[in-house]
Structure 1
Amino acid sequence: MSEFDTVAGQLAELARQQQQQKSEQDRQLLQRVLEIYDQKTIASLLRKVSQHEWTRESLNRWLNGKSVAKSLTETEVSMLEKMLPEPPLHHPDYAFKFIDLFAGIGGIRSGFEAIGGQCVFTSEWNKHAVRTYKANWYCDEQTHRFNQDIRDITLSGRADVSEQQAYQHIDQQIPDHHVLLAGFPCQPFSLAGVSKKNALGRAHGFECEAQGTLFFDVARIITAKKPAIFVLENVKNLKSHDKGKTFRIIMETLDELGYEVADAAVSGKDDPKIVDGQHFLPQHRERIVLVGFRRDLQLSAGFSLSKLSQLYPQQRKTIGELLEPSVEAKYILSPTLWKYLYQYAKKHQARGNGFGYGLVDPARSNGVVRTLSARYYKDGSEILIDRGWDRELGEVDFDHAENQQRRPRRLTPRECARLMGFESVDGKAFRIPVSDTQAYRQFGNSVIVPAFAAVAQLLRPWIIEATKKV
């Protein structure tokens, strides 16, 4: 073999290796995208920018190694990369690390990333919420870990594991961080959740092993990792659940772990720990916010959630400003559903009860709508957009043709995203890769984003100080 043949062979092998590496990189990119979007959608989009006849089957065969390795074109790679979130910009002067537990779709993460934080660990068990989270928040595998069931990390419920072993496991699995964020499951403590479980004869609060005890998984992580600061979120009813016993146990636990909770001694109707989203967006949504500081670091002096009022927007958006100019007919209530809700409300009004739908006139400038719930997908009754329904005419002839053309409608998922603060009317769109039903559940389970962005902004000086001490 001549010298030229040897060089040619080496170049051919190098080209083969490069092609193999390119194919593997493309496959990994495609896998990340398909963690979010379904194969049918991606195959359809690829066909629009490619000469290949992509199908769900061809994508499957390639990903599973059942077909010849392919390489994507530059156009295909560019399109797929645009479907993933870009890395955030971190300010070098006060960059800090945080973790996002019971993350939902990232409502609390948003504000802490905005002030320079880097999320290094996320835990969320709902597979549909995970898709939405990954569609909108950067989750680099090199610097970030995604976990689903937090009990796989804390090893809670394992009789064969000691507390020390559990703490060691947590320390190994979760990166070091300055701030811990956790919106631990609230259904066991909410008014609706308690009523439902009572009716079914099931336990709630800390007796509910499925969800209620997950607070103690948070406590285990705090014990093992000792973050400088934590921010915990739950429904307002947490304070009164079980005649205050639940909240007392939580506060005592946090105190025993060596943390001072801001505004701990304040209670009553002016408790600053109760944050209402209506100060930021036109939705009444009260949440309890517990901000804790590690006692040995002496960080807590001067912090109070009462100062959040300084960060309220001067001009709050109206419900009308959040609505889309036109919506699909599927969001208008069917005649049967509207008639049922209308008559149901009239029946309870006659009995002196307050049950009924919430009809919202978008022309009102200062109106605040009811709390968007996770059950919104069922009938949308808590927030219905008035399309000119004539109430007097409805009393006389509910089936009047003209009135039926004005039946109320639900909010669209995009409008829910705006009402929760995940996107603004003129800003970057929030990606919704799931069905309408799942989207309604996700927004109904989330937080008012600008409210927690304000909490993050208020906390920023204390976080900067924490990075100097830890």
Structure 2
Amino acid sequence: MEEKIVIKSKSKKVVKPIYPDDQDLALLTHYHSTNEPIYGEAVSVAEKFINSVNEPGIENLYNAVQTKMFDNTIVPFPGPEKGKELFTFIDLFAGIGGFRMALQNLGGQCVFTSEWDKYSRQTYFANYGEYPFGDITKDNVKQYIPQKFDIICGGFPCQPFSIAGVSKKISLGRLHGFADEKQGNLFFHIADIIEKHRPKAFFLENVKNLVSHDKKQTFKVIKETLEALNYSFDHKVIDGKHFVPQHRERTLMVGFDKNIYGDDVKFDFNKVEIPEEPQMLKTILQSEVDPKYTLSDKLWNYLQDYAKKHKEKGNGFGFGLANPDGISRTISARYYKDGAEILIAQPGKNPRRLVPSEAAALQGYPIYPINTMDKTKSLKITVSDNQAYRQFGNSVVMPLIQAIGKQLTKQL
């Protein structure tokens, strides 16, 4: 009798698509938005993930990732079309893109972005269609910076130079400023990139305390380092309250390559257009807010007791009930903890904290329907409330950056 041969069919399991990791995603999105040859490896990225899309190709993989992460492929703030840009820039310590939005509004094309925080990278990608590269101190990140661009910009990490950051480090017995190896020395990575790529200009931002830190030695080193590279150096401490309803003083620094513009080149901060009309907090406050943003009895009682104790000791620590007809205190990255620095009074109820969309508007980002009526040009908040508060607390005042950028680009 002839033996039957039975062939068992293989299990037909549904294989989930695999999408690019952070480095591949940065390559893919940078190539998609800039077409810079330095990101040409994105072609092999698209080939590597061919099973993740119905049709092969960079555009299809890009759209597939956008859909997977944000449920759509619409990017509210894409850069100018290739060939229509007025200048190019790179965005370091990018956060959620305050510099990027400001300079794009002036016709700039961002050709490289770096940001180490994964949640900020998500917000950045959702709004600009580009996923930032990671840690700028790493050579495998720096290798992707295009050789030529016009402006290097960024708000390098503030903690080593901030009043609060310095106090905390001293109390912990830690060094600060340039002696903080992890954060303080990040400035020198900016200097190295400037020396290697020779952009026409730099545009940097930091905390107000930068100019006085360590008996002015920190600022002296920054200034002398950049001047030694044959760049001009001008700075000014400006309060964001002229542009948004928030007291937020920051040190702004601008310089130009003297090899191009001559030894006498300067940046005149007095030419920056400052709005004369006073800002009012009530213009960004929403009338209907979810009750979850109202402080609990426990938290509200704690904040009041905490403020009372410090007042008795002669200290100024405590919560801040904001005046709707005036400006708020400075929003910080710790706002997510209790919202103490900016609380909004509510009739017959405990005060509330700002909702994330109000926090975004407080930094000057367009948010529908608070300060823009265009739904398609409203900042997307794709992360948790806590992460959103951190991001907005760390952000620059976008309209202030744009005002300085406008004057800067006139000189390019």
Which amino acid letter does the alignment assign opposite residue 453 of structure 1? Q
**1:151 aligns to what SS in structure 2?**
coil
Partner of residue 157 from structure 2, selected from 178, 185, 188: 185
1:30 matched residue in structure 2: 64
For residues 30 and 330 of structure 1, the distance between their equivalents in structure 2, rounded to whole angstroms, comes to 34
The alignment status of 1:96 with 2:87, answered yes or no, reads yes
**Pair 301,223 (structure 1): closer, same or farther in 2 beyond 3 Å:** closer
Matches within 5 A, 1:301-340: 301=265, 303-308=267-272, 311-340=273-302
The alignment status of 1:347 with 2:309, answered yes or no, reads yes
For residues 91 and 279 of structure 1, the distance between their equivalents in structure 2, rounded to whole angstroms, comes to 34
**Pair 407,221 (structure 1): closer, same or farther in 2 beyond 3 Å:** same
**1:289 aligns to what SS in structure 2?**
strand
Check the 8 A contact 1:154/1:221 in 2, yes or no.
no
**1:195 aligns to what SS in structure 2?**
helix
Check the 8 A contact 1:171/1:225 in 2, yes or no.
no
For residues 369 and 353 of structure 1, the distance between their equivalents in structure 2, rounded to whole angstroms, comes to 20
The alignment status of 1:129 with 2:120, answered yes or no, reads yes
Check the 8 A contact 1:171/1:224 in 2, yes or no.
no
The alignment status of 1:213 with 2:204, answered yes or no, reads no
1:149-181 Cα deviation digits (max 9, x unpaired): 1012389xxxxxxxxxxxxxx566434101100
**Pair 277,87 (structure 1): closer, same or farther in 2 beyond 3 Å:** same
Residue identity over aligned pairs, in percent, reads: 46
Where does structure 2 lack aligned partners over 5 or more consecutive residues?
A: 1-50
Partner of residue 274 from structure 1, selected from 224, 229, 237: 237
The alignment status of 1:118 with 2:109, answered yes or no, reads yes
Shift of 1:406: 1.4
2:209 matched residue in structure 1: 237
**Pair 302,252 (structure 1): closer, same or farther in 2 beyond 3 Å:** closer
**Pair 448,426 (structure 1): closer, same or farther in 2 beyond 3 Å:** closer
1:422-463 Cα deviation digits (max 9, x unpaired): 115241321000000000000000111100010111112112
Which amino acid letter does the alignment assign opposite residue 210 of structure 1? K
For residues 345 and 231 of structure 2, the distance between their equivalents in structure 1, rounded to whole angstroms, comes to 48
1:401-439 Cα deviation digits (max 9, x unpaired): xxxx41000000000000000115241321000000000
More helix by share: 1
The alignment status of 1:286 with 2:320, answered yes or no, reads no
For residues 153 and 95 of structure 1, the distance between their equivalents in structure 2, rounded to whole angstroms, comes to 29
Shift of 1:234: 0.6
Check the 8 A contact 1:276/1:287 in 2, yes or no.
yes
1:170-212 Cα deviation digits (max 9, x unpaired): 5664341011002111101001111111111112111111111
Query: What's the TM-score once normalised by structure 2's chain length?
Result: 0.81
Shift of 1:316: 4.2
For residues 172 and 339 of structure 1, the distance between their equivalents in structure 2, rounded to whole angstroms, comes to 52
The alignment status of 1:151 with 2:137, answered yes or no, reads yes
**Pair 201,23 (structure 1): closer, same or farther in 2 beyond 3 Å:** same
Which amino acid letter does the alignment assign opposite residue 257 of structure 2? R
Shift of 1:380: 0.4
**Pair 440,185 (structure 1): closer, same or farther in 2 beyond 3 Å:** same
Query: What's the TM-score once normalised by structure 1's chain length?
Result: 0.71
Check the 8 A contact 1:179/1:229 in 2, yes or no.
yes
1:225-250 Cα deviation digits (max 9, x unpaired): 00010001110111111111111111
Shift of 1:110: 1.4
**2:112 aligns to what SS in structure 1?**
strand
**2:204 aligns to what SS in structure 1?**
strand
1:410 matched residue in structure 2: 353
For residues 283 and 86 of structure 1, the distance between their equivalents in structure 2, rounded to whole angstroms, comes to 24
**Pair 320,123 (structure 1): closer, same or farther in 2 beyond 3 Å:** same
Partner of residue 421 from structure 1, selected from 359, 364, 370: 364
Partner of residue 203 from structure 1, selected from 175, 179, 184: 175
Which amino acid letter does the alignment assign opposite residue 111 of structure 1? A
For residues 361 and 215 of structure 1, the distance between their equivalents in structure 2, rounded to whole angstroms, comes to 37
Check the 8 A contact 1:154/1:220 in 2, yes or no.
no
Which amino acid letter does the alignment assign opposite residue 65 of structure 2? Q
Q: How many residues align?
A: 354
For residues 203 and 104 of structure 1, the distance between their equivalents in structure 2, rounded to whole angstroms, comes to 25
Which amino acid letter does the alignment assign opposite residue 359 of structure 2? C
Q: Which moved more, 1:316-325 or 1:433-442?
A: 316-325
Which amino acid letter does the alignment assign opposite residue 245 of structure 1? Q
Instruction: Give the superposed CA RMSD.
Output: 2.3
Q: Which moved more, 1:288-297 or 1:418-427?
A: 418-427
For residues 116 and 360 of structure 1, the distance between their equivalents in structure 2, rounded to whole angstroms, comes to 36
**Pair 172,422 (structure 1): closer, same or farther in 2 beyond 3 Å:** closer
For residues 308 and 252 of structure 2, the distance between their equivalents in structure 1, rounded to whole angstroms, comes to 37
**Pair 320,179 (structure 1): closer, same or farther in 2 beyond 3 Å:** same
The alignment status of 1:371 with 2:325, answered yes or no, reads no
For residues 175 and 282 of structure 2, the distance between their equivalents in structure 1, rounded to whole angstroms, comes to 41
**2:187 aligns to what SS in structure 1?**
helix
For residues 234 and 203 of structure 1, the distance between their equivalents in structure 2, rounded to whole angstroms, comes to 19
